[in-house]
Structure 1
Amino acid sequence: MYGPEEHPLPRSQSGVLALILRLVARDGYGWYSVQYAPEDRILVALSKIHAKNPVLMDGMSRHLRRKAGLPAAMVILAPEPKGGRWPLALLATQDLKGENMNRVDAKHPLTWPAWREGKWQPTYVLRRDPNRQRWTWYLEEAFYRALLEEALLLARMEDWGRLREHLRRVGTLPLFHGIWEQAHEIRRRVHRLWGDRHRRGPGGEWKRPPWGGALEGWPQRPFSLNVPVWRDEPPRTVGEWLEMRREG
């Protein structure tokens, strides 16, 4: 076991999503609770969770608990707090006593937040891909609709500069398979709208759209489970993060 100050920090939102996806889809951590801890009491929050259900454990200790038929549990923190709050996901192989846990399923999909418009908002939803029957991340529906509608509005206005910037931002999202499909649906819808209003080339081929350069930064394929998760340099742990904050 280790202390709460030694708890590792993911390097990015993509790292958080990759780790959660790996634990749920591959490692059998099918129960979850998403919570928020006060930024200045994160060590206390981790200690309280650990007192009820041991989460400050190394991989071998969790493996031995599972072999003994006991629940194994992990806490995954957001890369950093914002607005005085630190999101965390509590994942477990069984329902945990003393915690408000849900099974990861269609009725209770695991939803992870992002810092948007000055607050933490539900943004990423883990559910099964209906076509491939595998777990993947999707954008929360209201957020996806907002991104799509803004793109279509900018295309109708022929505001190509703002549309390019908007599509560049879409390309920086953590493009796991589900989000990848949603991002490319936005691209397809914009292209269809533009094509309906502009003439094609002499041979009937599409002309190069005026926002084409915005897509050159998009990844060539969806993210996989192998996205790097942990930090290579400080702050690698909660304790290092708190120390750097004090020094700053």
Structure 2
Amino acid sequence: MLDPHELPLPRGQTAVLALLQRWATREGYSWFLVATTPEEKVLTTVEKLDGKFLVNLPPLSRHYRRQAGLPVAHLLLGPGPQGGRWPYALLADKKLPGEAMKRLSPESPLRWLAYREGAWQPTYELVPDERGGWTWRLVAEFHRALLEEALHHARRGDWPRLVGHLRTLGNLPAYRGVWGQLQDIRKRVQRLWGDTQLRSPDGQWKAPPWRAALEGWPKTPLSPVGMRLWVEAGEGRPRSLGEWLEGPCG
């Protein structure tokens, strides 16, 4: 059994979403719980969950437990804490006793958190896609807020803020569902601001603002297949919970 200090840390939000999607939809860990724990108690939380559910087993031990019909669980920490709290996801192939878990379904999407407006809030949800698989999309409330902000800047003709806002959107993990929502925002904003009829203060646009805004946007949806998921040696960041605790942040 691995020591809780050896729990690996994902590279970022994009990696977290890729891991959750793989575990929940391809590997059968369809029961889930998403929560946060105080930063100073993260090791205690990991040790407690490991003691109850053996969340830090090596792959071969997981295989034998599944063959024996015993519950198998995964614990995934977010890339790091913010606002004094650290997000985590507990996944299992069976409902774990004493935990308020849900089972992934179209009616019960897995929602992952992002730190925004001073708190960890549900931001991404894993839902069925039109091709019969699963994908991530932004929760409706967040998608609507991003769209409304973009339309507000476009109506006012505040191009610097609009360009800055859209460039920020280009940094979101653009899995198929998120990518489609971003394209919806782009199309609605472009219809509002136009391409040729709107004029700059000096006359006709030489380069419409949307061109600069979309320079960093992904051209196609992001795929979780083949993605680098864990922090690696030489990157200058903690690779495990133990390294984080031993470093200046811990």
TM-score above 0.5: yes
Match of 2:142 in 1: 143
Match of 1:111 in 2: 111
- CA deviation digits over 1:11-42, x for unaligned, max 9? 10101001001111211111000121111111
Matched-pair contact (CA < 8 Å) for 2:75–2:91: yes
Per-residue deviation at 1:68? 1.5
**1:55-94 equivalences in 2 (<5 Å):** 55-94=55-94
Q: Aligned AA for 1:237? A: S
Distance of 1:169 and 1:15 partners within structure 2: 18
In structure 2, list runs of 5 or more residues that go unmatched.
200-205
In structure 1, list runs of 5 or more residues that go unmatched.
201-206
Distance of 1:136 and 1:208 partners within structure 2: 35
What SS class does the counterpart of residue 113 from structure 1 fall into?
strand
Per-residue deviation at 1:222? 1.2
- CA deviation digits over 1:23-62, x for unaligned, max 9? 1121111100012111111111111112221101111111
What SS class does the counterpart of residue 230 from structure 2 fall into?
coil
Corresponding position: 1:26 with 2:29? no
| Pair 1:189–1:65, CA change in 2 (3 A) | same
The total of aligned residue pairs comes to: 241
Match of 1:215 in 2: 214
Match of 1:182 in 2: 181
Corresponding position: 1:239 with 2:242? yes
Distance of 1:126 and 1:213 partners within structure 2: 31
Say what the alpha-carbon RMSD is for the aligned residues: 1.9
Distance of 1:15 and 1:197 partners within structure 2: 40
Distance of 1:63 and 1:220 partners within structure 2: 39
Q: Aligned AA for 2:72? A: A
Per-residue deviation at 1:65? 1.1
| Pair 1:194–1:36, CA change in 2 (3 A) | same
Per-residue deviation at 1:243? 0.9
Q: How high is the sequence identity, in percent, across the aligned residues?
A: 52
Q: Aligned AA for 1:47? A: E
Match of 1:98 in 2: 98
Q: Aligned AA for 1:44? A: T
